[in-house]
Amino acid sequence: MFKENYKKLYDQIRVDDKMENILINRVSDLSKNSKSKQINYRYVLSMCGVFLVLLFTVYQVISNTNNSNKTINSSDYYTKEPNVINQPSYLPFEEQDYKIDLKGNSYSISYFNNQENLTYIKKNIGSDLVLDELVLVNHNNVDYYFKSYDYSDCVCWQDSEFAHELSLSYAISIDEWFKVIESFN
Instruction: Give the residues lining the site for another protein (CB under 8 A).
Output: 2-3, 5-10, 12-15, 19-20, 23-24, 26-28, 30-31, 34
- Least distance to another protein from the beta carbon of 48, Å? 23
- Report the Cα–Cα distance between both ends of the chain, in Å, rounded: 113
The CA distance from 179 to 70, in Å, is 27
CB closer to another protein, 2 vs 90 = 2
Q: Are 181 and 119 within 8 A, CB to CB?
A: no
The CA distance from 151 to 147, in Å, is 11
- Least distance to another protein from the beta carbon of 29, Å? 10
CB closer to another protein, 28 vs 46 = 28
- Least distance to another protein from the beta carbon of 37, Å? 11
CB closer to another protein, 19 vs 44 = 19
What is the full DSSP assignment across 112-128? B--HHHHHT------TT
Tell me 112's DSSP state. B
CB closer to another protein, 26 vs 99 = 26
The CA distance from 149 to 70, in Å, is 11
- Least distance to another protein from the beta carbon of 42, Å? 15
